[in-house]
């Protein structure tokens, strides 16, 4: 399942980018989560990532870990492709 991660960097880690990414990548690998893309943004969120995770619990575990490490905060959302959305529309219609 794909997820979108909306993240904020903690001030302590914002200038230690390669170290933060290394720690996060190791944890993601450990949880079976693959990064599909990373985008840095301006505004409320500092980054938007698209990941592929084996289950929601793995995403939750990563989010909790990320926060407890003091790296920042993450909000996660499941991401559905167009085919899944069309199927949902058909199912909703009865």
pLDDT tens for residues 4-61? 999 999 999 988 989 999 999 999 999 999 999 999 999 999 999 999 999 999 999 9
Q: What is the pLDDT of residue 62?
A: 98
What the block records as the tokens of 57 is 């619990």
Q: Domain spans of the chain?
A: 2-93
What the block records as the tokens of 56 is 């929601």
Query: In this structure, how many other beta carbons lie within 10 angstroms of the beta carbon of residue 37?
Result: 9
Cβ neighbours of residue 92 under 8 Å, at least 6 residues apart?
A: none
Check if CATH label 3.40.50.2300 holds for domain 2-93. no
Q: What is the pTM of this model?
A: 0.88
């Amino acid at each position: 399942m794909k997820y979108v991660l909306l993240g904020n960097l903690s001030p302590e880690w914002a200038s230690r980018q390669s170290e933060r990414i290394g720690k996060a990548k190791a944890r993601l690998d450990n949880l079976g989560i693959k990064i599909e893309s990373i985008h840095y943004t301006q505004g409320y969120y500092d980054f938007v990532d698209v990941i592929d995770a084996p289950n929601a619990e793995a995403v939750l575990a990563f989010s909790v870990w990320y926060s407890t490490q003091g790296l920042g905060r993450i909000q996660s959302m499941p991401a559905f492709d167009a085919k899944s959305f069309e199927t949902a529309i058909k199912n909703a219609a009865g």
